[in-house]
A and B are shown apart, each in its own frame.
Chain A
Amino acid sequence: MTEDGALGLIDDAADAVGRLPEWVGLLWLTALPARLLLAFFCIRLIQLGSDAVHSGDWARRIAWLLLVAWLASLWGRQVFVRACRHAFQSERPASRALLRVPAREMAGHLAAALAIEALFWALLLTFVAPPFLLLAAGLAAPAAPAGGPGPLDSLREVWRGVGPAFRLIRLLILFGIAVPIAALNLHFFAHGVLWLAGGIASLDVTGWDGVLALANPAYAVLLFTGACLLLEPVWLAALTAHVERVRARGTGDDLRRWFAELRVGA
């Protein structure tokens, strides 16, 4: 493990993510349906505007579908967190046994994630609570499984995983800055592909200029979704590193490791 701040967490996370390409693929694969459904939901709501309040049945149906897809993504998150934990502790490649998440751990994660998700949507219009609930939802994957299937125990574990709050807030700000940058990169990439298709393959791409414009709300939502998906592995790995450090401090493992390093150095 490297330095103790938010940048140290990102360093550790980037290192772990670089060593886990297949697990990142699995995370993306499980997260993609929920993300795309959420993007579709947002695009449709933007199109409906003030008429959205009259489309309650449609919104509820999509919400149910979205949540079912989100449940599948929780398993992917849990597997990825286990792979990250393995990468932090060992140089050896992660085995397939990590795919078998114990029911106790999965239930703990599910209970905490559902409670946080319910709060997130209930408090969405406050505009202040959602960023902190996003943080809690991210922390639920590495922290909640230790609490077992009890909802209160798993939420207590999420609370214990918070540790030094300023480090987490700095991490949240860093990712808040990273999302628009990643979205811009995706935008330039899409335009690069369009330019290549027009210049090299001589395809007629005139109609695509309007579609791939930031003024197009559907395209903007998809860009935002893509950016979140791109950053999700690093975000989860950073939060896993954070929880591991908080636990190591709680159990005295950090001191044990430090003494071991001193003994090797002496």
Chain B
Amino acid sequence: MASPVFQSCAHHPDRRGFALCMSCRKVVCQECATTWDGVNHCRTCLESRGAAVLSRKRVRTWVGCAIFCVAAFAMTARGLAWSAAMLARLW
């Protein structure tokens, strides 16, 4: 495979290639390339990775919220019944 320097950017055909995206294997220019953990990525791949991480985080937050609400609901019901009965006993 020819060096990226001798090819043009996949997103900007008028620009010279600078790096090879390790996800999609496309040659990208200096502006489109981002080095992350020592590995080159193009902007599109980085955005789709970010979106996937965000959506996983969102799902985790919603699942956590649902579990918390169910647990808190059950605890509140028990606490309400117990405290009210104890209060009535004090009364």
Contacts and interface: CB of A to CB of B under 8 A. Distances in A.
| A pairs with B | yes
Interface of A: 41-42, 45-46, 48-50, 52-53, 55-56, 59-60, 62-64, 66-67, 107, 110-111, 114-115, 117-118, 121-122, 124-125, 148-151
A110 B86 CA distance: 27
A124 B65 contact: no
**Chain B, interface SS category:** helix
**Chain A, interface SS category:** helix
Contacts, number: 96
Given A63-B77, A64-B77, A67-B80, A53 B85 contact: yes
**Contact count band on B:** 20 to 34
Interface of B: 61-62, 64-65, 68-69, 72-73, 75-91
A176 B77 CA distance: 26
A111 B69 contact: yes
9 contacts: A48-B88, A50-B89, A56-B81, A63-B78, A110-B69, A111-B72, A118-B72, A121-B84, A122-B75
B89 A52 contact: yes
Given A107-B62, A114-B73, A150-B61, A53 B86 contact: yes
Given A53-B85, A59-B85, A125-B87, A151 B73 contact: no
A46 B88 CA distance: 6
Contacts of B90: 125
Contacts of A50: 88-89
Contact of A63 (B68, B81, B88): B81
